[in-house]
A and B are shown apart, each in its own frame.
Chain A
């Protein structure tokens, strides 16, 4: 991909990060760390990889995204608003009574949300269903799932991994937002997720490990995944929880926290226009 296109994606991702923190600041609730962590993956999907039409959010032939780590929805809400699925004015109403932006993604309330999520571990399984439906309906869309790393502790993840291999669903592409930290602390201190790559490979998946904040790597990995026929793909994206804001990065106090005015201003400065 050309350098200019990468620069534009980086520019968009900074805007989405500003949107994430601004909506959480204005709404007074939300998960900054997990949202910032996957902001580049979400940006790469909506602004480059995915074939979607904001004017027709339910177009049957569209590519689909399931945000299995539903608590990171501010990242997707910002991307959808910036794509034009709904007005930017909706963002500050996040988590408010009557808002189209629920605390976790709701496919009936938010244009562009392809699947309800938030209860961890279920996204790959639903994505398998979408990929099987593509086959049954003779459509050639891709189904993307962004899953957290902590939620890979759920048993249903591996039920879905087994079945996806069995059904050879090449149109299913899972991205693991591997920031190494779950709600309660560091994954390696809570659960034995590693060795992760051999796990996926043993389950019969095409597996890549990339820097989840490097657009060239993200887009190349997606292209590779799409090119593998008859085999589900997982992209393990090494990420930094809270990426982009110095005092949020790798600080799990920001798993769920609202910035003060000063913190928000500093974050806006760090994510500001002068970096463009």
Chain B
């Protein structure tokens, strides 16, 4: 597997934005090293603010900056933004619709990997999804992060972009575009089950689809990189086409992609669903791929989930 840093991709994309737009700024909470910001700091010293290890202050300060027309990007670990500074995000960014962009590193257990639970963040998406008005994006890999950063800079108002550890699997060709708010079919034509997936778990979902193909179950694999606003129409169409759904995400199975798809299923297209992800428990330190295998995100877990929903919809056992 090839690797490329989502953190570097973020900061390079931000530097390009800062070059073009005088209003773009970076706010860190002693996280300059986390997001590889040394060069940004050297190039744009006036627009680099580091408030120290103080995430609440970083977010509220960014809100004040945005109220004066700036476009601050707050970048640090995902959980420190969404948990430590949750109320500042909710009340001072989302409620006044301020143009603050949040960039959360170590999204998922695979991204937090060896650090252990304190630095593995698998609740960020669920927390933010309950707050009105935040665009939420989980890009697949480094090149997609670069494009997603530019995409959220284009839209006014709050946005969250999830990034990884800095050692992130390359999922797509670098020339693949990114379209905010739209699902993307990665593997088409499987009418037996739809696998909804995002982030660095995409390669696992694609491998699972191959295996299912060998045993006669045809899976469509769909990337849902934008959790909010959710492409409800696109998801509904695929649910109707396949009649069975599996979600795959590096997040608690409560609150993230699994919940988002479950909400569409319940209200618009009832079909059997299985959610693959972290099963509402705390993980531990470990190497990324081993961790995901051990905590419910193995290819086998995805294959089994697909078999189970396929059987529940009345398909032959394969």
Contact = CB atoms under 8 A, between A and B. Distances in A.
Interface of A: 60, 66, 106-108, 114-116, 118-119, 122, 125-137, 155-156, 159-160, 162-163, 166-167
Contacts of A126: 60-61, 63-64, 67, 92
A160 B27 CA distance: 13
Interface string B69-109: 11010000000000000011001100111000000000000
Interface in B29-86: 46-47, 49, 51-52, 54, 56-57, 60-70, 72
A129 B91 contact: no
A125 B72 CA distance: 14
A155 B53 CA distance: 12
Q: Which of B61, B63, B91, B97 has the most CB of A within 10 A?
A: B61
B25 interface: yes
Contacts of A66: 64
Contacts, number: 103
B190 to A, nearest CB: 46
A108 B97 contact: yes
29 contacts: A66-B64, A106-B95, A106-B96, A107-B67, A107-B96, A114-B67, A115-B67, A119-B87, A122-B56, A125-B64, A125-B88, A126-B63, A126-B64, A128-B57, A129-B60, A132-B61, A133-B64, A133-B67, A133-B69, A136-B47, A136-B65, A137-B68, A155-B56, A156-B57, A160-B61, A162-B54, A163-B52, A163-B57, A166-B52
Given A118-B91, A125-B57, 14 more contacts: A107-B67, A107-B96, A119-B87, A119-B92, A125-B60, A127-B64, A128-B57, A128-B61, A129-B72, A130-B67, A133-B68, A136-B47, A155-B56, A159-B54
A137 B25 CA distance: 11
Contact of B49 (A108, A132, A156): A132
Nearest to B95: A116
Contact of B70 (A116, A137, A156, A159): A137
Interface of B: 25, 46-47, 49, 51-52, 54, 56-57, 60-70, 72, 87-88, 91-92, 95-97
A2 to B, nearest CB: 34
B56 A136 contact: no
Contacts of A137: 68-70
User: Which of A60, A108, A156 is packed against the most chain B CB atoms within 10 Å?
Assistant: A156
Tell me if A's interface is mostly helix, strand, loop or mixed.
helix
A119 B96 CA distance: 13
B68 A60 contact: yes
A159 B91 contact: no
Contacts of B72: 129
B95 A125 contact: no
Chain B CB within 10 A, most for which of A122, A127, A129, A156: A129
A116 B92 contact: yes
A159 B57 contact: yes
B25 A136 contact: yes
Given A135-B46, A162-B54, A125 B70 contact: no
Nearest to B27: A129
Contacts of A128: 51, 57, 61, 64
A160 B56 CA distance: 9
